[in-house]
Amino acid sequence: MRALVQRVAEARVAVSNAVVGEIGRGFLVLVCAMEGDTPETAQWLARKIAACRIFKDDNGKMNLSLAQTGGAVLAVSQFTLAANGAASGNRPGFSRAAPAAEGEALYETFCATLAGEGLAVARGIFGADMKVSLLNDGPVTIWFDTALKSE
């Protein structure tokens, strides 16, 4: 799986001009299931993100996790993270993304695991045309790719 995590002061996602998910301080997580991913992959990624310490402590050092700050997660599915931008031509390919039904199940597992870590989780709508807005905090943006993980 791939995820792009942005530390935000606030974020929201709308579908057909209606807000379907919204948070204050926390993480906006754009997430994509890839071919071959499993529920265990989704759980590992969610736990890794939940434990990520990128909030400032009293000394101004990025040393606090989301749970330690009382923040929330806005999780938005985004199959375009599977893009092969280095392919020949100018149109990226997305064939490495998991098929839609598998991707949705893995997205749900990812969100449920975050919630199981004690985090408030708002969501987009899988497969919908979404409008995402955010107020970046920092900015701080972290890229996760489970294909690159070490056990």
> How do residues 32-73 score in pLDDT, each as one tens digit?
999 999 999 999 999 999 999 999 999 999 999 999 999 999
- Residue 22 host element (H or E): strand 18-23
State mean pLDDT over 20-33.
98
Predicted confidence at residue 134, as pLDDT, reads 98
pLDDT band at 150 (very low <50, low <70, confident <90, very high): low
Tell me the C-alpha distance between 38 and 49, whole Å.
17
Nearby residues of 56 by Cβ (< 8 Å), 6 or more positions away: 62, 63, 64
Predicted confidence at residue 88, as pLDDT, reads 67
Total-model pTM: 0.94
pLDDT band at 149 (very low <50, low <70, confident <90, very high): confident
Predicted confidence at residue 101, as pLDDT, reads 97
State mean pLDDT over 6-15.
98
Predicted confidence at residue 90, as pLDDT, reads 80
Predicted confidence at residue 86, as pLDDT, reads 66
Kindly list the catalytic residues. 78-80
pLDDT tens by residue, 83-137: 987 666 788 888 899 999 999 999 999 999 999 999 999 999 999 999 999 999 9
Domains and CATH numbers, the chain: 2-146 (3.50.80.10)
Q: Residue 112, class by beta-carbon neighbours within 10 Å (0-12 exposed, 13-18 middle, 19+ buried)?
A: middle
State mean pLDDT over 67-83.
95
